Amino acid sequence: MRRGPAIALALGGLAWAAAAQAAQAPALQAVAAFGALCATGELTPQAVLARAEAAGWRRGGPDAPKDFDPQTQRLSPAGGAALRLMVTSETSLGERRDTCGVGGTAPMAGVVAATGAWLGFPPALDLRTTGTFYAVRTGEAWASGAKLDHAAFAGVKAEGRFYSIVTSDEPAAMLLLLHVRPAP
């Protein structure tokens, strides 16, 4: 049996797997940043921005986009994937809406899949390069809220445990969390 072709094929497969893993690295960085900044603790802009700054995220720099707003945004630390954090909060009609997002400036293959792996369930709406997750949070654990009936949805929303997470691999990578709950 000739081993040369089999070894070459195996090495080619390893090289492909390594290249695929390297391509996933920016997506994994984006999802990790999203999880650490947008899906942990308080979602007020002040709390999210404080977590970001403690993790080395910047209030600006020469690489800041023209539409960058240091009041509600931060840039990722130098040396990693080029990411921008965006956070807002508003209250009206008896509801508080907190949004927190991490986005890139270019496509990042694998953001939707990496988000599903992090949450532990697939998106409710999966369009391959974009996905929408309906999530119920209990403590630090996430569960899919995609199959909640109207009464169950109303209950977890009233408890402040329902989240929508929208993700996109392209044209620029993005993860956006929307948390709607009763106003304090």
In this structure, is residue 135 part of a structural domain? yes
In this structure, is residue 146 part of a structural domain? yes
Tens digits of per-residue pLDDT, 84-114? 999 999 999 999 999 999 998 888 899 999 9
In this structure, is residue 84 part of a structural domain? yes
- Domain total for the chain? 1
- Residue 147 reports pLDDT greater than 80: yes
Number of helices and strands in the chain (H, E): 4, 8
Question: In the chain, what percentage of residues exceed pLDDT 70?
Answer: 87
In this structure, is residue 168 part of a structural domain? yes
Long-range contacts of 25-29 (CB under 8 A, 24+ apart): 25/81, 26/81, 26/104, 26/108, 26/173, 27/108, 27/109, 27/110, 27/111, 27/113, 27/114, 27/169, 27/173, 28/110, 28/114, 29/80, 29/81, 29/83
Domain that holds residue 41: 24-182
Range of weakest confidence among 13-22, 45-54, 91-100, 166-175: 13-22
The chain-wide mean pLDDT, for the chain, equals 87
Q: What is the mean pLDDT of residues 141-157?
A: 96
pTM for this entry: 0.83
In this structure, is residue 3 part of a structural domain? no
Question: How far is the C-alpha of 155 from the C-alpha of 45, rounded, in Å?
Answer: 26
In this structure, is residue 163 part of a structural domain? yes
In this structure, is residue 7 part of a structural domain? no
In this structure, is residue 170 part of a structural domain? yes
